[in-house]
Structure 1
Amino acid sequence: MWHRIHALVIKELLALMRDPRERILIIVPPLIQLLIFSYAATFDLNHVRLAVYDQDGGSAARQLISDFTGSPNFELVRRLHSQHDITGLINNRNALMVLVVPQDFSRRLRNGLPTQVQVLLDGRNSNTAMIALNYARNIVNNFNDSWQRDHHLAKPPAALVTHAWFNANLESRLFIVPGVIGVLLLVVVIMSTALSVAREREQGTFDQLLVTPLRPLEILIGKSMPGLIIGLFEATIVIGTAVWWFDVPLRGHLATLYFGILLFLLSAIGVGLMISSLAATLQQALLGGFMFLVPAVILSGFATPIGNMPQAVQYITLFNPLRYIMVVLRGVFLEGTPFSLLLNQFWPMALIGVCTLAFAGWLFRHRMY
């Protein structure tokens, strides 16, 4: 028995390693993914975009602000002069945190009275907001310890008051569930389209298409439509589940949401058909699909913020359609982002879809003629 098993193992290894493309798929992608993921998949925040609204201007306020700006975790992007500037700054994602120092901050501290300092957070990414809030708490606690020690106080002089926009309680469910919708749609569409041509080629039925009157464009459309239909059906189910089962608020318009999903599905179908056209066997199509899916999820901002990744990795994420649908899903669900403000997310997905579908069509013609 063991002799037969040994012979079977040797045969499978030889069959696997005989194809140069499969040898490359086994060795090269894991090494590349290890290098990329080691830099990209991190929950540490090094450059939290911070804005400061100093209503006090006293020495104590300047000391507290210098503690924030001197920390390696924060990057001062703007000093505000009006309460009205805060809304646009957070809505446009120009700052993740706004530190608000009240007018009588320094005076109350000098008189030995307790006071408050306010932190406003962008709660759309609850994980990032929680990490940034912990950094802010540590800085305020260190400021309290220093002030108590220097002025011989018995109680902490400053209390931190926080308020998160779009996700008041920083519930991770409201951040995770919309992201899961994008991941599920990508997995379903990529795997269903990536296997289509490779399966027919392996079964020999793809050759029968060559003798039919169908043109390459018609074959491309025929291969794309099932993935699009399945994706839209899947999207409807998961959106309904998110709203009625998980109580995720849907503050935007369904038309805006479905338009973004449609563009995302077209780009995912293009990637899947490219993989399917390049793969000679079903096994290669499966490996190619997973080789795309894992980096796409890691580099999408699903769990770790893209802004915290190295600059070179951030450029790579520009070719990832999942990156853009994450912004669309979370924007429409959590903040009710209108169509006009999502145009900068729509056109990259449309461009990726056009390029990938065009390349898949070229591969069809190349294989047919």
Structure 2
Amino acid sequence: MFQRIWSLIVKELLASARDPQTRWVVLFSPPFLLVIYAFAITQEISSVTLGVYTQDRGVEARELISRFEGSPTFEEILYLRRDADIAAAIDSRSVDLVLRIGPDFSRQLERGEPANVQLILDGRASNAAQILAGYSGRIVQDFNEDQATALGVPTLTKVVTRVWYNPNLDPLWSAVPALFAVLTAIVGFMVSALSIARERELGTFEQLLVSPLRPTEILIGKAVPALMIALASATAMLILGWLVLDVPLRGSLLLLYASMIIYLAAIIGIGLFISSLAA
């Protein structure tokens, strides 16, 4: 029994190695997609142009502007001279958002009074505008807390969020593990599905059915090569994410691979089932 299953496994591995479509799916497609999608689906925004229109030359106004200038998100600062320049800068996409500071901003803060600033964003890129609003809101919030401390005004309760497994909120650290799981599933599904389809296409599926192999042995002989190929592809993506994309690998490798085997076994079973119905 084991000899027959092993012969079928070797036959499937050789057939997959000789098939150009399978070679592309297994060898080139997953690492290529991992690198492309890791940078394409990130929600991080950089190289932003900030427009600043300030009617206040006080210390507090300059301090707030300097905090925006010191943020790595904002690459270029464009100072506007008139209120009418704001709409023109937004419409022409010269700036991504505008920080508008009124004439009494510094005096109001020195007296301990509430002071308003205005953020004007380009709503045509709604997703980017929401992210930039969050970035800017955090800068203003930190400025408010520092000003309240300097003036001796008690601050409200502050909620501090700590991310355990991605403390720097690096988008690659979130995107790469998710892509790793998705692409591993795609490889397992495609290899198992192509296995039955290739037998049908070459006309060897009927020969396989009349061979001494039992249905259970055929199922194992088809599933194990797909599992081995998917695990090899997952290992390549794991190394690529660790060495090239600089995503740290922490935790138990044994637990990771045990989970992958269970995960891929379910995916491969679905692939074989669909392929047997469609073939």
Query: What TM-score, normalized to structure 1?
Result: 0.38
**Larger gyration radius, structure 1 or structure 2:** 2
- By relative contact order (CA 8 Å, sep 6+), the higher-ranking structure is 2
- Using the size of structure 2 for normalisation, the TM-score is 0.49
